[in-house]
Structure 1
Amino acid sequence: MDLWQTLVESLRRTEVPAITFQELLLVLLVATALSIPRRSWRYFGLLATAVHELGHALAAVTSGQRLSGIRLRLDHSGTTTTYSRSRAAAAWSCFWGYPVPAVVGAGFVTAGFSGWGPAAIAASILVLVASMLFLRNLAGFLVTAVAIACALALILLVPHAFVGHVAVVLGLAMLVAAVRDLFKLANVHLRRRDRLATSDAYLLYRATAVPSGVWIFLFAVLVAGSWVAAWQPISLILGRGA
């Protein structure tokens, strides 16, 4: 069976994983361990940055802008370069950075609980492979290649029933990462104003004259909404275990 056929077959729905109350607690613990401690965040945060920049890139493409390139750096920063004559389109692509890790996280959690975990992982492989066409630095290639290799290992070596559990872990970790990055953004505006030039909220203010605080609030609304969506299947299991 070749790799392409395996990926295609992984896009189908599989048996819904039976996640018990005890397993869910372990899943929550692992997800937190990926996104909170500095040592693990040093590596998992790179994936969150990649998703953030892919959010900018996808928004740019869907709004008719020209995507020039994506750069990912090992200090968790990144840049997506686009060209557009429309301020509205430029603002649209600038907005979809911080909310996207949370949206993707909610999607992974929902997919994991509903039997679409392997499909979510396989789809992410296709997106990451496509993104390599726009990467413009070695660190970006390295981060993306490692992510693709790990996802391929899940699809090829891990039983599909267990991949659903992994999708839930990754989704929750990405949701935690989105909250962490949102606090980091707020800190830039409150205490590290010398770094405002790196803030998407500040860039949106410069492009639209709408205050940065409004944009941060909108980011927070979408992140919170993603948490609510992801929490629905989790609350059912917690309710049964209570």
Structure 2
Amino acid sequence: MDIPANFWSAFSAAFTQTNVPTVTWGEMLLSLAAAVALSIPRGSWRYFGLLATATHELGHAFAAVTSGQRLSGIRLRLDHSGTTTTYSRSRLAAAWSCFWGYPVPAMVGAAFVWCGLGGWGPAAMAGSSLVLAASLVFLRNFAGLAVTIAAIAGAAALAFLASGSMAGHVTVVLGLALLVAAVRDLLKLTNVHLRRRDRLNTSDAYLLYRATAVPSGIWIALFTLVVAGAWLVAWQPVSAILLERR
């Protein structure tokens, strides 16, 4: 048995388009319900929120690397907090990487929804596993390693072991759940600025204010605008399925 050849064949196949999954009106409603169930109740959020936090921090990291900053490390904590440490001589570049935290889970969620409904579910999961694997180099704590390795295992299983249809359905649910999670985190951020101002130093909007002198409220509004745009993008294929019922 040629293991390397078989592995490469399976790996390459994961990045090809599969049959577009048939998602009925009822299944789409169940997917929306599953997304809410993952992102709203405290019990499920305790675990799914870790994936949302990882996506948030990877947004900071990707923005930092693509803007020429030095990425020192990423820490993920089990209380859903995280830290991405970068070094830059440019305030503009630092602000750029600081911005791309809260919007990224929604953007990834919208991409997952489109991929899942378009027959690219396995490709989305295979790509995610590669990105997560690359991030292992920058993780600086055990909790971060544990969360990321678990996410890699789940994504790889969907990409290489599950059927294309199953991978597509799960990708849609994960995408919708990340979109819901993005709204939840935005509400939490807003609450920090309105009622929990003792925690302002943990807020990306406040850090952006410190770096640019632009008020935190403007940054929160910009986060909200990008998240709303991601919801609008994701809602196009979802609404098309729901409207088929009429």
- Fold match by TM threshold 0.5: yes
Cα deviation 1:36-63 (Å, max 9, x = unaligned): 1000000000000000000000000000
Note if 1:111 corresponds to 2:115: yes
Gaps of 5+ in 1: none
Instruction: Give the match for residue 74 of structure 1.
Output: 78
1:21 to 21, 25, 29: 25
SS at match of 2:20: coil
How many pairs were matched up?
242
C-alpha distance in structure 2 between counterparts of 1:185 and 1:8, whole Å: 40
C-alpha distance in structure 2 between counterparts of 1:86 and 1:213, whole Å: 23
Q: CA deviation at 1:141?
A: 0.1
Instruction: Give the match for residue 137 of structure 2.
Output: 133
1:222 to 219, 226, 230: 226
SS at match of 1:217: helix
Q: CA deviation at 1:155?
A: 2.1
2:159 to 137, 148, 155: 155
Instruction: Give the match for residue 243 of structure 2.
Output: 239
Instruction: Give the match for residue 150 of structure 2.
Output: 146
RMSD (CA atoms): 0.9
Cα deviation 1:8-38 (Å, max 9, x = unaligned): 2101111111100011111111111000100
C-alpha distance in structure 1 between counterparts of 2:121 and 2:153, whole Å: 17
Instruction: Give the match for residue 121 of structure 1.
Output: 125
SS at match of 2:235: helix
Instruction: Give the match for residue 164 of structure 1.
Output: 168
Q: CA deviation at 1:76?
A: 0.1
Instruction: Give the match for residue 103 of structure 2.
Output: 99
Q: CA deviation at 1:157?
A: 2.5
C-alpha distance in structure 2 between counterparts of 1:4 and 1:203, whole Å: 44
Gaps of 5+ in 2: none
C-alpha distance in structure 1 between counterparts of 2:147 and 2:35, whole Å: 20
SS at match of 2:137: coil
